[in-house]
Chain A
Amino acid sequence: VISSRRQDVLTVTPWLAPIIWEGTFNSEILDSAYRPLNLTIGVTVFAVGKYTRFVGRFLESAEKHFMKGYRVNYYIFTDKPEAIPHVQLQPGRRSVVVPIKKYTNWQEISMRRMEAINKHIAETSHHEVDYLFCLDSDMVFHNAWGPETLGDIVAAIHPGYFNVPRSQFPYERRSSSAAYIPDGEGDFYYGGAVFGGLVKKVYEFTKTCHMTILADKANGIMAAWQEESHLNRHFLSNKPTKVLSPEYLWDDRKPKPPVIHLVRFSTVDKNYKEIRD
């Protein structure tokens, strides 16, 4: 009888998308399937204002752990190109600085990411990458992040909400918002710091999220957790084809529970007040 290696966690969603936990996959088999495809994986990170200070560590840790053996393009969106440190990259990997406008407050900056990513895909990255991940920059890789994460539409479970009942998910609860999710609905609470998929799919859902963000703006409302709320609304109706466990989006301020065997990507400790101006 074949039994599960991880009996302590849910490894498949009710719509049959895999939930990626250590122990559920064999990296060798996955590499042998993906390496021959000669893929290029893109990564977007936003380093606006004081967030430029995180880029160096982000890139250094990515070079050690992110998609080793694959071609990678880092797209660093910044209002201060000169503040981006030069980091030595492995062969087959390159970084590109994408100049963007700085908005007045951190919420606006955060929400405009969807628009910037979407625009950049249309103009540039759709020619250059097969898969695209959009990651927060104030984070560091600690362990391997590989082809087990590749899928059409990929979302990650927020580390603060993977073990709590759905009623406690911080979805936007005001019905006047386009990100509204009523009580009793919802699959997971996905984190806005990690999402991705096929570049074509990322183009589609960043466009939709940007539209719903603009709709809210026109109605004078801002969702509870900015673009994360809109992302959650979108992924409820357009379910991800692969879900990453909180190993891929961890918060080091939280104590590590037994189900987390490995932390692959987590927050850098920082003073939010100071950073956000």
Chain B
Amino acid sequence: RRDVLVLTPWLAPIVWEGTFNRDILNAQYVQKNLVTGVVTFAVEKYVQFIKGFMTSANKYFLAGHQVNFYLFTDNPEQISHLQLAPENHLFVIPVQNHTRWREISARRMDIISTYIQSRFQYEVDYLYSIDIDVQLFEHVGVEIIDRLVGTISSWQYDTRRESKSYETRAESRAAVPQGEGDFYYTASFYGGSVAEVYKLTRACFKGIMEDRRNGIEARWHDESHLNKYLLSHKPTRLLSPEYCWDADR
């Protein structure tokens, strides 16, 4: 792949199809006996996406490796029986619903960091947060595993919109000054080592709460805070927009 950027200016690889050999990576990964966790939220009407997400993720997400799915939902009874691969596990965790989408997205950061501290750090080495309304159609493998991983939003490539969607109002904790910013990352898929994801989610939640106290809400909610964080804590690996499955927002 000579046509695209495969390395950031700080030498983090940008993962595109054609840049890596999954067999080599699998061989390296298998040696390490790692467990990866996936955190996802299905609250209110998003419950309808559970089946599609779990079926496709079970088939395509780190296939052949041990994955723990942590599904936070306000409707645990609604979950029909899902047949999972023997190396995968599903843990359903009940949560309260909230009236507004914005509230839920703020709460996600808090829930993730809290659960990392109380539980996930003992059960997984790497953790990824993935939106429930995502369906995988291709294998997503160990090329995504690294300490701090962000996915470049496919929106960045749409020339009809503004080139970047950062929060620009200085009053917000998520503000990115004019002219700054490396990439625009999507909140629908990010992760890394449990320690790094803990720091990220704590920082983002802190920023969200501070904004709330100051009566401001960032333009793209938790995604704005995520982008602020990844500007000053540069990801060690980026996933290309091929990994961003936001069909529409």
A interface list, Cβ under 8 A from B? 1-5, 7, 11-12, 14-18, 20, 24-26, 29-30, 33, 148, 239, 242
Contacts and interface: CB of A to CB of B under 8 A. Distances in A.
B10 A4 contact: no
A1 B2 CA distance: 13
Interface in B198-249: 234, 237
A2 B183 CA distance: 10
A12 B2 CA distance: 10
A24 B2 contact: no
B4 interface: yes
Contacts of A3: 3-5
A37 to B, nearest CB: 14
B4 A14 contact: no
A16 B234 contact: no
Contact of A18 (B13, B28, B143): B13
A14 B10 contact: no
Nearest to A12: B6
Given A3-B5, A18-B7, A12 B21 contact: no
Contacts of A148: 11
Given A2-B5, A239-B28, A16 B11 contact: no
Interface in B1-36: 2-7, 9-13, 15, 19-21, 24-25, 28
B10 A25 contact: yes
6 contacts: A2-B4, A12-B19, A16-B15, A18-B11, A24-B9, A29-B10
Task: Determine the interface band of chain B, counting residues with CB < 8 A from chain A.
Answer: 20 to 34
A4 B12 CA distance: 13
B157 interface: yes
Contacts of B28: 15, 239
B5 A20 contact: no
Nearest to A238: B28
A30 B13 contact: no
Given A16-B19, A16-B25, A30 B7 contact: no
A32 B183 CA distance: 18
Nearest to A30: B10
Contacts of B237: 16
Nearest to A150: B11
B4 A24 contact: no
B20 A11 contact: no
Q: A5, A15, A239: which has the most chain B beta carbons within 10 Å?
A: A15
